[in-house]
Chains A and B, each alone.
Chain A
Amino acid sequence: MWPLAGQRTKHPGDTEASLIARAKAGDSVAFEQLSSAYADRIFMLLLRLLGARGDAEDVAQEVMLRAWRAIGAFRGKSSYFTWLYRIAVNEANRALQRRARRPASVPIGPDELQLPASGLVDPALHAENRELRAALMRALHDLPSELRTAIVLRDIEGLSTEDAAEIAGLGQAAFKSRLHKARLRMREAIGDDALLASGG
């Protein structure tokens, strides 16, 4: 049985730069060590974008395989994290396109996500409002994928506009426009009365 991600042999003192260099030279253990640091966040992102754990698990494997195959072309123009996130967003979009082409695709509901509340104190108080939380997940699920990507990266993942735009493969102006549309669609779906009643 394989060990858990990140549990293979590590070299004390490894930096991200040294791991990238070793991975580019064909060291798959270094690649795993490098990418393990982001594995949980990548998986969480895929859960948000795809909605179903089984799909997220499958796509997460594909993301890592694509990253491994492409690591030789990584030039460091962006951070490794940004580069890996972009692959994840691309793979999620491919998976959504495949799902859309399936004639009898099973609708994915927010109940499948089974996500925990944030560790942040104040936002978690809001998230304890189960009705609001369910409404947010439904509205998020119903967004077109390009709008969902924008709001997940910026508002849930908490990335900067610059990083989120790069990951989404957009210029900053285009990204901001999508984010604005996504937030308006979410507000419309949930209703301002419900949002204001949540105490935000």
Chain B
Amino acid sequence: MDDHRWTQQRISQYFDSELTGHGRRRFDRHAQRCAECSRAVRAMRALIYAMQGLGGPAGVHAPATIFSRVRLAGAAGPGSPEQA
């Protein structure tokens, strides 16, 4: 597979730190030379960064009713296994 296609297919892996050694060098080398791949890398970085900025749990709280059904069912004890 040519370097361009190979690089385009691995942009996610690059940002998940799953490219190491030779693969990482091959990616960096091509991305530095190829304007399209360089732009794709920068756009993916911006996307992932922006997604992280969408927010964590701070400021959002579970409703007080989240255990309502557990409390109604609680007297009977845990039921039969469903998922493990």
Write the residues of chain A forming the contact surface with B, with a CB cutoff of 8 angstroms: 2-5, 23-24, 26, 28, 31-32, 35-36, 39-44, 47, 57, 60-62, 64-66, 68-75, 77, 83, 86-87, 90, 115-120, 122-127, 129, 132-133, 136-137, 151, 154-158, 161, 176, 179-180, 183, 186-187, 190, 192, 195-196, 198-200
Closest A residue, CB atoms, query B16: A161
Q: A66-B83, A87-B83, A195-B43 are in contact. Are A23 and B60 (CB under 8 A)?
A: no
Across the two chains, which residue of chain B brings its CB closest to A154?
A: B16
Expressed in whole angstroms, the minimum distance between the Cβ of B4 and any Cβ of chain A is 16
Task: Pick from A4, A35, A64, A196: contact of B46, CB below 8 A.
Answer: A196
Q: Which chain B residues lie closer than 8 Å to A68 at the CB level? A: 70, 73-74, 78-79
Q: A118-B53, A176-B12, A187-B43 are in contact. List 9 more A-B contacts (CB 8 A).
A: A3-B64, A42-B62, A44-B55, A64-B69, A66-B82, A70-B78, A120-B52, A180-B9, A198-B50
Judging by beta carbons under 8 Å apart, are B53 and A39 in contact? no
What is the CA–CA distance of A99 and B8 in the complex, to the nearest angstrom? 36
- A64-B66, A74-B84 known; A116 and B59 CB under 8 Å? yes
Contact partner of B78 (CB less than 8 A), chosen from A71, A75, A83, is A71
Contact B57 A40 (CB under 8 A): yes
Secondary structure dominating the interface of B = helix
**A69 lies within 8 A of B78 (CB):** yes
Tell me whether B69 and A61 are in contact (CB under 8 A).
yes
Instruction: Tell me whether B34 is interfacial, beta carbon within 8 Å.
Output: no
What's the Cα separation between A74 and B81 when bound, in Å?
8
What residues on B are CB-neighbors of A4 within 8 Å?
64
Q: What residues of chain B have their CB less than 8 Å away from a CB belonging to chain A?
A: 9, 11-13, 16, 18, 39-40, 42-71, 73-74, 77-84
Distance A186 CA – B55 CA, assembled complex (angstroms): 17
Q: List 8 A-B contacts (CB under 8 A).
A: A2-B67, A44-B60, A72-B79, A115-B55, A126-B53, A127-B53, A156-B51, A195-B50
Tell me the interface secondary structure of chain A in the complex: helix
Q: Are A64 and B70 in contact (CB under 8 A)?
A: yes
Asked if A183 and B84 sit within 8 Å, CB to CB, the answer is no
Contact B71 A2 (CB under 8 A): yes
| A2-B68, A32-B70, A68-B73 known; A192+B53 contact, CB < 8 A | no
Task: Report which residue of A62, A83, A126, A161 has the largest number of chain B beta carbons within 10 angstroms of its beta carbon.
Answer: A126
